[in-house]
Amino acid sequence: MDYMSSIILGVIEGITEFLPISSTGHLIIAEQWLGHRSDMFNIVIQAGAILAVTIIYWRRLASLVVGWRDPGNRSYAAKLIVAFLITAILGLIVKKLGFELPETATPIAWALIIGGVWMIFAEWAAARRPPYKEITWLVAILVGIAQVVAGVFPGTSRSGATIFVAMLAGTGNRAAATEFAFLVGIPTMYAASAYELLKTLKDGGAANEDWTGLGIAFVVSTVVAFVAVKWLLSYIRSNRFTMFAIYRIILGVILLGMAATGAIA
């Protein structure tokens, strides 16, 4: 494998995993030029980005464990667990149904455009709600479902879907919605990576995987995601997500144009 390609894919994953612009969609498009990668490659480098968030939020995670006697911490942790379990159960059902990621740009382009419009509407609607920071049970349930929907439709963006569902379902505060979405992503992506790793080993696909390239992409993704998330958390304190929505719409239109001319599949 060309290790420069692994570095580039790691950078793309690190930047896009937590910005609401769809990491899977960007990776699928990038692979049109850099060569196809296995599902395990894509999911494991996503785990690299999740490792970055684990490091960033380690104090918050530790407080939930150490302070489990506090009713607020117990309630928050329970909602994280429920959201994860919903994602895990529905995700396994989707897998059993034989769902495969698209390999062409058109469905991704439409998901980017529709998601961009959805984000603009969600920002507008959330701005008219009281900025509650509390995560309700409804938010937890819908966030779990939103993660699966984002996985089924590349281009949707897991972080974007979960953040804006949380904002519309009762948590009008951007920072609170973002924190819950990111924390739910930690067990979700670790579990997905472990599932794909065990599946690959069981199917004997390990011999066909370039573990060095995968390791390089994983490390690059972790470092880049750490920087990207730190920036995002600072940015959303005083800014909306509108620029990401505009980027998605523009990129989606460009991809549709390229697909129509045959520049990409």
Residue-level pLDDT at 207: 67
Which of 111, 153, 103, 124 has its CA nearest to residue 249? 111
pLDDT category of residue 145 using cuts at 50, 70 and 90: very high
Q: pLDDT tens digits for 206-265?
A: 667 788 988 999 999 999 999 999 999 999 888 889 999 999 999 999 999 998 888 787
Residue-level pLDDT at 105: 86
pLDDT category of residue 27 using cuts at 50, 70 and 90: confident
Mean predicted lDDT score pLDDT of the chain: 88
Q: Is the pLDDT of residue 122 over 80?
A: yes
Question: The whole model's pTM is what?
Answer: 0.87
Q: pLDDT tens digits for 35-70?
A: 888 877 887 888 899 999 999 999 999 999 999 889
